[in-house]
Chain A
């Protein structure tokens, strides 16, 4: 229940930011809205490159354990894809308030290592490992920065903080030996909400007065402490994770299209 309340609050904050964007600030020679950057709403998408243990894989031999289970800090996340909607209202020449909603997925790499680890640990003829993927969405309000460089170009940056809701993959390992299908080893999917932040910078090119394209790079960080359950783990051998408390961090490269409004000149 608590994560839902926090999400509702953050959503309301983002909406209220957009509502403020509709209001006209008082004109003054020193702080004229005519000189402010345009407010915008943007749709963006791109590629996300996992960092740290989140994006690492264990070697096959390091996952072999005959007597007792073995923990694994690595997340096996492959480069993923994401889509986002964000927007900002500029209250000064350079700074604005806004927010971003983002959803992304990461498939798993190194599944052959996982599969080999289970096969050797259980000393069986064949293992078939079928993973789902990581899913992550986030909602983050924060500060936006804009610096016109030349002509239609501008440098942009943003610092956002909010929350992310991440789901780990389900890893299903089918075990066959001596013509018999043994009980599968199943690492169940787990979900958790946690604090998240995003720091990014990029460039904006104004195609039209009301339309721009944006190229950005962002660093994203969250650290949910997942409690992971496993099904039909009857004997103590092979890889078995009951907790995953590693940062889910990534570098994200995105291309976006923004609709700009509210600029006076």
Chain B
């Protein structure tokens, strides 16, 4: 028995096999899942503040909110657009900034500051509609939303844009288009830098009317200047009149 146990022939191969088996047993891949932590902010209100560059007293503040004006409480399935409009002077340039608020907090929280801190994976898109077809170019430096992602089939009763259809469309001439071009003016800290859209220029043409859709895309580890990657943080539409 002793000879069998301590035989030269079996002792070392046996011990080595045991070590390999022990090593293999300790080599299991682990996965850690971190769910979303509670306490993050709501994006209750999105405002566009526009200032005419030649007339600083011409300030427009368009606001779209999910805070009920009646109860001053957050309504998850509602949107209040009674202030979601802007009147812009024709053939003018406005500096614009996007202000995002969490009005469930007292005092309210300015979420756009946090978006700015997370600028490397956030990107704003502006889609004027009807957009002049010849001006509609989707690229990683324009603010247009690809046509595949346009709003279509919205009910005529949608009062989001003060009776103007929120369905997006193209126009073949300036006479029927909303003559508005939006350019982002701020850049993030990626290498190379990409646009953000918290700070913008709004350039108006001839008098016209339509809608302006504003979408914030959250593109973690995916931002490349285009619309597609990531998910949507908010999607609001304003009525626009150029006079």
Contacts and interface: CB of A to CB of B under 8 A. Distances in A.
Bin chain B's interface residue count: 35 or more
A114 B26 CA distance: 21
Contacts, number: 148
A115 B34 contact: yes
Interface residues of A, number: 57
B34 A129 contact: yes
B34 A83 contact: no
A43 B12 CA distance: 7
Identify the 4 closest CB pairs spanning chains A and B, nearest first: A178-B231, A83-B19, A122-B220, A43-B15
A62 to B, nearest CB: 16
A91 B233 CA distance: 75
A83 B121 contact: no
A237 B33 contact: no
Interface in A160-211: 175, 177-180, 182-185, 208, 210-211
B15 A257 contact: yes
- The main secondary structure of chain A at its interface with chain B is strand
Nearest to B223: A235
A128 B33 contact: yes
B16 A43 contact: yes
A112 B32 CA distance: 6
Given A67-B189, A177-B231, A257-B11, A83 B119 contact: no
Interface in B188-220: 188-191, 218-220
B30 interface: yes
B36 A126 contact: yes
Interface in A83-128: 83, 85, 103-105, 107-108, 111-112, 114-116, 118-120, 122-128
Given A45-B19, A130-B29, A179-B231, A232 B221 contact: yes
Interface of A: 41, 43, 45, 66-68, 80-83, 85, 103-105, 107-108, 111-112, 114-116, 118-120, 122-133, 175, 177-180, 182-185, 208, 210-211, 232-238, 257, 259
Contacts of A175: 220-221
6 contacts: A43-B16, A66-B117, A80-B26, A126-B36, A127-B33, A182-B230
A53 to B, nearest CB: 21
A129 B30 CA distance: 8
A158 B231 CA distance: 60
A123 B118 contact: yes
A80 B22 CA distance: 11
A182 B26 contact: no
A235 B34 contact: no
B108 interface: no
B92 interface: no
Interface string B14-40: 011011101100111111111111000
Contact of A67 (B36, B119, B219, B232): B119
A118 B190 CA distance: 17
Interface string B106-123: 000000000001111100
Which of B16, B26, B232 gathers the greatest number of chain A CB atoms within 10 Å?
B26
